[in-house]
Chains A and B, each alone.
Chain A
Amino acid sequence: MNATSPLYELKDLSKRYTRGKETVTIFDALDMTINTGDFIAIMGPSGSGKTTLLNLLGGIDRPSSGEVLFEGQRIDNLSQGKLAKWRAANAGFIFQFYNLMPTLTAAQNVELPLLLTSLSGKARKDRVKTALEIVGMGERARHRPGQLSGGQQQRVAIARAIVADPKVLLADEPTGDLDRTTADEILETLQLLNAEMGKTIIMVTHDPAAASHAKRELHLNKGRFEEKGKA
């Protein structure tokens, strides 16, 4: 598979929510392709459907109609159980508020996705160590989230997202809660993962400075994408 083969294809995708008698359409007949190795920043006003789109790509939510293809296979019609397995194998998630387990150490948090694999304890340990080192948190393996700064927690969360070696990273405002300097460090880490490890990254952000770290910027507005040319 070369660098420009499609990882995702969205075909005639629609998402509607019904609230009482009212139906809200988030997307209607959306078509879109995301290539392997891409680093996309998705921007757009609040409520435009950015998180909804990530949920559809991440197999967390299902479309009202249309298809989501991942490596040519539909994922929109998988059962809940199959979707869970698909997520474990293919997608890494990074959240605005890190969402680490407060009772577990950094290393244990990173190990969580590996509980869903058949790796031996030793192999898991090695993987966790490598993942923490990639994000520069090798020294903090035994710390709990409460003992780490926001930026450090987000690094641990990134390690958790990459430890099972997924093809795509889905990040929803990963720097939304961080100061400029820390945000830039995190974004550089993501760039590194994209460039060196070939991870496809789809990142939602409000911050144009954050978006500028991506290869591609898409603006979501009223259910449509506008591609923004890169300077």
Chain B
Amino acid sequence: MNDATLVRKNLFRKRLRAVLLMISILIAFLIYGMLGAMQNAFSMGTEGAAQDRLVTVNRINFTVALPYAYWGRIQQVEGVRTVAPASWFGGYYQEPQNFVQSFAVDPESYIEAYPELVFQEDQRLAFIEGRTCAAVGQALATQYGWTVGERIPLMSNIWQQQDGSQAWELDICAIFDDADGTYPTNYLMLHYEYFNESLLFGRDSFHWIAITTEDTSQNDRISREIDELFANSPAETSTTTEAAFNAAFMEQFGNIGLILTWVIGAAFATILMIVGTTMVMAVNERTREIAVLKTLGFTAPRIFRMVLWEALLLSFIGGLIGLGLAALAAQGASAALAGFLPSFGLTWTNALTAIAFMVALGLITGILPAWNAMRVRISEALGKV
């Protein structure tokens, strides 16, 4: 037996109470983990290179197309390095619910503009060379079990070919990954040329144009010049950083960050009050026992620590189980939502933050009862029978 035995025995003295407290803590951390995973999915692609790249879209909104000629004209703006135009393809595989995020791109410029995409050299060349080639992101390839060399029919729910068909036969020539895991890889790219030539309607237009510059400190000037170039034309543009564009895109779903903060905040405020008051009550019930321990020679600091450890233990048992369940649930959700939300999962940052929350919860709910326990006066506590 040691102090830890006493801590554990005290925590589980009233089993039902301990279990209920743990469940409430567990739920708070489950909510935290699930919402954190969701936030990760929504905030992907707003870091790193996305801060430096520019994106030009139609000023009305990004679903309205830009003329083909803008590609060449933007290239003329001073300081622009690479111009990589792209169009939504809006594909699905076999069944309409098997949504496949897909873009028609100009392979050479796109790969140049997105250096974080990692290709095997031979696959990269094959993709650029082959008209009917597609490059598939690792996450998407895993989801459908696609391999290089396979031929897949990709259906579009937006476009139609001149022969009336909505199926594009694509050869998987490359599977790419993301260098450091900060960008989603749950999409595929096909050749803009192949796509454009086969179209029945809507030819010679793009939905967005990604731009890299020679010097990122010039980005403000360059975006202004691009937008001025097309001012008063039928298709005016709006040029921002890719990060801002991605964030604006996600804003469609509401201010996720703010909602999450409020929900998590409410969950933790509730938990703090429930656990805090219960701990105070639980320790008050033990005033007499604490007085006995002190009589035997347990010092006040030692008793303080024991009560604090009890609160920390409670917080960690509930918290770790909750976080574990959240990670499992996120994994399940990730498989179900793979086509829509990239990498719905918990990061190490989430886990460490959660552990910091557990420590904070334990300390905050433990400090008052620990203080009370430390200050128990033996003669008073033993005097009341």
Contacts and interface: CB of A to CB of B under 8 A. Distances in A.
Interface of A: 51-52, 55, 58, 60-61, 80-81, 84-89, 93, 95, 97, 99, 101-104, 108, 111-113, 115-116, 160
Nearest to A54: B379
A104 B9 contact: yes
B205 to A, nearest CB: 76
A61 B295 CA distance: 11
A87 B297 CA distance: 5
Contacts of A113: 296-297
Q: Taking each of A84, A99, A102, which has the highest tally of chain B beta carbons within 10 Å of its own beta carbon? A: A84
A2 B21 CA distance: 58
A116 B379 contact: no
Given A103-B9, A103-B10, A115-B2, A97 B297 contact: no
A103 B13 contact: yes
A60 B379 contact: yes
23 contacts: A55-B379, A58-B295, A60-B379, A61-B379, A80-B300, A84-B298, A85-B297, A86-B297, A87-B296, A88-B297, A89-B297, A93-B295, A99-B289, A99-B292, A101-B292, A102-B13, A103-B10, A104-B6, A108-B5, A111-B1, A112-B293, A115-B2, A115-B298
Given A111-B1, A112-B293, A115-B3, A81 B299 contact: yes
Contacts of B383: 51
A97 B298 CA distance: 20
A135 B216 CA distance: 85
Interface in B285-338: 288-289, 292-301
The number of chain B residues touching the other chain, given as a range, is: 20 to 34
B69 interface: no
B289 A93 contact: no
Interface of B: 1-3, 5-6, 9-10, 13, 288-289, 292-301, 378-379, 382-383, 385
Contacts of B294: 84
A93 B301 CA distance: 21
Given A60-B379, A87-B295, A112-B293, A99 B288 contact: yes
A52 B383 CA distance: 10
A60 B293 contact: no
A58 B78 CA distance: 90
Contact of B1 (A52, A58, A60, A108): A108
Contacts, number: 64
A81 B300 contact: yes
A113 B385 CA distance: 23
Contacts of B292: 95, 99, 101
A95 B298 CA distance: 17
A192 B215 CA distance: 94
Given A51-B383, A101-B289, A88 B13 contact: no
Nearest to A87: B297
A84 B293 CA distance: 10
Contacts of A80: 299-300
Contacts of B9: 101, 103-104
Contacts of A116: 296-298
A102 B13 CA distance: 9
Contacts of B300: 80-81, 84
A52 B301 CA distance: 25
Q: Taking each of A95, A103, A112, which has the highest tally of chain B beta carbons within 10 Å of its own beta carbon? A: A103
Contacts of A103: 9-10, 13
A86 B296 CA distance: 10
B13 A95 contact: no
A95 B297 contact: no
A58 B292 CA distance: 13
Given A103-B9, A103-B10, A104-B9, A84 B299 contact: yes
A85 B379 CA distance: 17
Contacts of B289: 99, 101
A5 B152 CA distance: 102
A220 B163 CA distance: 115
B305 to A, nearest CB: 13
Contacts of B3: 115
Nearest to B12: A103
Contact of B378 (A52, A60, A88, A102): A60
A99 B382 CA distance: 9
Given A104-B1, A116-B297, 15 more contacts: A51-B383, A80-B300, A84-B299, A87-B295, A87-B296, A87-B297, A95-B382, A99-B289, A99-B382, A108-B1, A112-B293, A112-B296, A113-B296, A113-B297, A115-B298
Q: Taking each of B13, B289, B295, B297, which has the highest tally of chain A beta carbons within 10 Å of its own beta carbon? A: B297
Contact of B295 (A51, A60, A108, A115): A60
A86 B378 CA distance: 15
A119 B385 CA distance: 34
A79 B174 CA distance: 77
